[in-house]
Amino acid sequence: MPVPRPLFAEDGSPTPIAELAPGTWYLAVEQRGAALVAQTQDGRRGVLQDTSGIQRG
């Protein structure tokens, strides 16, 4: 991803649980419409709402 992005809790709460950093790979575990459920290196899972410009592989 080109810029840091907030990762939100799967329960829909508006407070981010983590920030995803550019240049770091994250595991996408599910696609929800245009959003992705991603997992951080420490095992936290949340919803990445803005997926524009991310690299998938």
Look at residue 57 and tell me whether its pLDDT is greater than 90. Answer: no
Q: Please state the domain extents for the chain.
A: 5-48
The first and second tokens of residue 31, run together, are: 């696609």
pLDDT at 37: 97
Average pLDDT over residues 23-27: 94
pLDDT band at 10 (very low <50, low <70, confident <90, very high): very high
Q: What is the DSSP string of the chain?
A: --S-EEEE-TT--SSEEEEEPTT---EEEEEETTEEEEE-TTS-EEEE---TT----
pTM recorded for the entire structure: 0.90
What tokens appear for 10 in the block?
């799967």
d(CA 7, CA 5): 7
Q: What whole-number percentage of the chain has pLDDT above 90?
A: 89
